[in-house]
Amino acid sequence: MTRRLTVATLALLALALQPAASSAASPDGGTSTALRHNPFRRPVAAGAADESRPASVTAPEWRPTLRGVLLAGGKSLANVEGQMVAIGETLDGHRLLSVSEYQAVFEMNGRRTTLDMRRPRSPDLDP
């Protein structure tokens, strides 16, 4: 009797699930569901400006951590966030101009940024 009950239960489950599976079938034979939103769109922050109006966007200040320097004249290197940058090379669009004992000077669009190993990087302390 247990076996007949199990077979009957499986048959009822198969019938119950069949319409749901057939409604979700795609033309290529697989199952898929229609997306209701774009999964790659960035989330909108609360109180964000209307997308129909262009918002004035200011780029955040570029302040990575200078971890170390290697002084070798024109071949000096700066270790910025674990990436070695030589004089004249760029990092995130910023070109390394010079390296001194504790500092590295970068430039982007005429604006210079000096990274200093002695100055702790803290959002509360930076202007």
Is residue 15 assigned to a domain? no
pLDDT at 126 over 90: no
Is residue 112 assigned to a domain? yes
Domain count, the chain: 1
Contact 112, 97 (CB under 8 A): yes
Beta bridge partners of 83: 80
Is residue 97 assigned to a domain? yes
Is residue 11 assigned to a domain? no
pLDDT-derived band at 60, boundaries 50, 70, 90: confident
Task: Write the pLDDT tens digit of every residue in 81-125.
Answer: 999 999 999 999 999 999 999 999 999 999 999 999 987 655 544
Q: How many helices (H) and strands (E) does the chain have?
A: 1, 7
Is residue 6 assigned to a domain? no
Structural domain range at position 97 = 66-116
pLDDT at 25 over 80: no
pLDDT-derived band at 21, boundaries 50, 70, 90: very low
Say what the pLDDT of residue 36 is.
72
Say what the pLDDT of residue 44 is.
72
Which whole-number Å values give the CA distances from 117 to 29, 63, 78, 97, 111, in the listed order? 60, 12, 11, 16, 20
Is residue 99 assigned to a domain? yes
> Is residue 78 packed enough to be buried (19+ CB in 10 Å), middle (13-18) or exposed (0-12)?
buried
Say what the pLDDT of residue 91 is.
93
